[in-house]
Amino acid sequence: MQKIVIRGGARLRGEVRVSGAKNAALPILASSLLAEGRSIYRNVPALGDVRTMSRLLAKLGAEITAKPGGISHVDTSRITELEAPYELVKTMRASVLVLGPLCARHGRARVSLPGGCAIGARPIDQHLKGLAAMGAKIELEHGYVTARARRLRGATIVFDVVTVTGTENLMMAAALARGHTTLENAAREPEVEELARVLNKMGAKIHGAGTSLITIEGVDELHPVEHAIIPDRIEAGTLLVAAAITRGDVLVRDCLPEHLDAVLNKLRAAGVEVTADGDGIRVRGKSDLRPADISTQPFPGFPTDMQAQFMVLMTRARGQSVLSETIFENRYMHVPELQRMGADIVVEGRTAIVRGPTRLTGATVMATDLRASASLVLAGLIAEGTTEILRIYHLDRGYDRLDKKLRALGADVRRAKGSL
Ligand code: EPU
């Protein structure tokens, strides 16, 4: 297994490009199942979860060809299986995104229930409630959920909680349902809007994506599509924080600032200099940072996927910052590792209090989930001495060669053989 070894202290400088968005690529790849034929996707990020989704699609019978430069061809002409097995769903919960498309186009889907995960319980009851309202017969047996429907029918669905993949699954299902579907209290994330853009290109009739009220007029058939995926706002945010904490000067290119308002506002509130620059965002880090209070919220609020990275930034600020994690119940697994590096963080329930500035020192630490691993990389960049991060497959699940990008900006980061 590989580890990442970082010698802290370098100030990052230069330009870096953001890759395609993981959380847009995953539902878009799943949406290929709604049509028959070959779709072409560009700007597909090279990361573990995309490879897992490709494996899942291949298992269902699709032919996937990955071309150089982030281009994927997905041919769904011969779908031979309708099941997402446990070994893939347990590796990646987003596998559940095939449920809506398979049920809508093939009349049946069997998907392993994901179970708990490192950051919280993460049930899929809202996905199932919506499919049931659209006429699917849902059965739970042997750890699998089966959804069956000769043809789904439009329905009015009010989500009890705002769910990103739940909104995506039902939007895909409704695209091929008979009649009109309304999704209320829908997720407004840019990735939901992006999926709707792709579905509409395929011939769907979806309005309102990007707001909390989405309406879908079902159509009989969708066709394959060619599409370039939007940039990853969380990768962009992670790189911006990397520049800010190292007091660097970095232009993060190919990102969409309108997807990053909440993150940019908090960076500015902390005293980081952030400016729009052409097709990118430039960050100049300052040595004296102010504390910030942050509560994670669904979009357009501050993303839970940036909470761990901001916590590292807050160890640099003078004073006390308060972070509240409102989306997932167990998303502070990076805290004990940051404490071992010298951070002053106290967690009480869903609130973390960070006191700074503290001097971090390099240590051997363990990555536990994707964003936790990113926060440990950031901590390594500013720690005195050497930090070794084990289990970095978590990082590679969701970042397209983050270590390489940081190295190109001057960080002393390398991969080595790890023991765990
Ligand atoms: N929830 C339910 N019932 C459901 C669905 C969700 O109670 O049926 C709860 C969850 O337990 C959670 C909250 O609703 O407390 C929000 O979960 P959501 O369904 O929105 O999360 P998700 O769709 O499983 C996506 C991203 C996550 C990101 C969250 C929140 C993808 C593939 N994943 O997950 O990304 O944290 O939305 O924005 O889009 C990551 O990239 O590191 C990551 C975890």
What is the CB neighbour count within 10 angstroms for residue 223? 12
Q: What one-character DSSP code corresponds to residue 10?
A: P
One of 71, 117, 219, 333 is an active-site residue; which one? 117
103: annotated active-site residue? no
Contact 113, 88 (CB under 8 A): no
Q: Taking CB atoms and a 6 Å cutoff, what residues make up the pocket around ligand 1?
A: 23, 26, 93-94, 120-127, 161, 163-166, 187, 191, 304-305, 327-328, 370-371, 398
Q: What is the pLDDT of residues 150-175, one digit of tens each?
A: 999 999 999 999 999 999 999 999 99
Residue 121 in this model has a pLDDT that exceeds 80 = no
**In a 3-state reduction of DSSP, which class is residue 234?**
helix
- DSSP character string of 318-336: SEEEEEE--S-TT--TTHH
Per-residue tokens: 148: 């069956």
Ligand 1 atom 25 nearest Cα: 164
Q: What is the pLDDT of residues 173-206, one digit of tens each?
A: 999 999 999 999 999 999 999 999 999 999 999 9
What is the CB neighbour count within 10 angstroms for residue 177? 26
Specify the pairing of strand 63-67 against strand 71-75. antiparallel
What is the CB neighbour count within 10 angstroms for residue 58? 12
Strand order in the sheet with 319-324: 293-295, 319-324, 351-356, 344-348
Q: What is the mean pLDDT of the chain?
A: 96
Atom of ligand 1 nearest to the CA of 161: 14
Bridge partners, 417 (sequence order)? 2
pLDDT at site 279 = 83
Rounded to two decimals, what is the model's pTM? 0.97
Specify the pairing of strand 364-366 against strand 386-390. parallel
**Alpha carbons 228 and 315: distance in angstroms, whole number:** 37
Separation of CA 251 and ligand 1 centre (Å): 30
State the amino acid at position 395 in one-letter form. L
Give the whole-number percent of the chain exceeding pLDDT 70: 98
Which residue bears the tokens 């597909």? 44
Q: Angle 410-236-274 (CA atoms, 0-180°, nearest 5)?
A: 80
